[in-house]
Chain A
Amino acid sequence: NAGVTQTPKFRVLKTGQSMTLLCAQDMNHEYMYWYRQDPGMGLRLIHYSVGEGTTAKGEVPDGYNVSRLKKQNFLLGLESAAPSQTSVYFCASSYGDRDSYEQYFGPGTRLTVT
């Protein structure tokens, strides 16, 4: 089992560029999440999905879009990158209810927007 994988690991964007971060899990988990982690801010939930074809907003969704076309994949899109989106992005998945099951995290994507 690879667990949760993320692509790419690092990326540098210019303001206004777009990109998609890919998250894949091979544990057959229903729930998937995208977080961002900034110094002094902790992990903050961007969007999440409770199953294939579903998505919902988290705490900081503005400037991001997501899609869950396949159960094992969860994509995070930045349509027009801004310097404020410089962060480390973590994807996670869990078997069941968001609040009572262990979340398994991917290794993260370090994004810099100049």
Chain B
Amino acid sequence: RKEVEQDPGPFNVPEGATVAFNCTYSNSASQSFFWYRQDCRKEPKLLMSVYSSGNEDGRFTAQLNRASQYISLLIRDSKLSDSATYLCVVNIMDQAGTALIFGKGTTLSVSS
């Protein structure tokens, strides 16, 4: 299944680095986009929604490019605590209506 694709990584960066993740989606009619964070052996948690105009939450910036059907997540000034897997999530139409499709995730490891 390739509706939502992410680079699995791992991305290994030092503290303070800036790192960017991309995610592509296949359904041009998708309307809702999210980034979830999943720590090792824990449940996913919403990091931020992605809006058409782009949005920022502290060190995190999400961008949406509808023409190219990709979403990005930029993390500035990386912290050790940012180490996790980041899941790109997109809504997609299926026979039952719409559903959220989770990407396989991009793993980030921040080292001191």
Contacts and interface: CB of A to CB of B under 8 A. Distances in A.
Contacts of A90: 43-44
B45 interface: yes
A34 interface: no
Contacts, number: 50
Interface size bucket, A side?
20 to 34
A98 B42 contact: no
B45 A105 contact: yes
Given A100-B32, A105-B43, A40 B104 contact: yes
B91 A42 contact: no
Contacts of B105: 42
Interface stretch (B13-21, B58-66, B75-83, B92-100): B92-100
A91 B56 CA distance: 29
A102 B49 CA distance: 9
Contacts of B31: 99-100
Given A56-B96, A99-B31, A100-B32, A41 B104 contact: yes
Most A Cβ at <10 Å: residue of B100, B102, B104: B100
Contacts of A59: 1, 99
Contacts of B49: 102
Interface in A49-72: 56-59
Contacts of A40: 104
Nearest to A38: B104
3 A-B pairs with least C-beta separation: A99-B91, A105-B43, A42-B104
Interface of B: 1, 31-32, 34, 41-46, 49, 87, 91, 96-100, 102-105
20 contacts: A42-B87, A42-B102, A43-B44, A44-B102, A45-B99, A57-B96, A59-B1, A90-B43, A90-B44, A97-B98, A98-B91, A98-B97, A98-B100, A99-B91, A99-B99, A100-B31, A100-B32, A100-B91, A105-B43, A106-B43
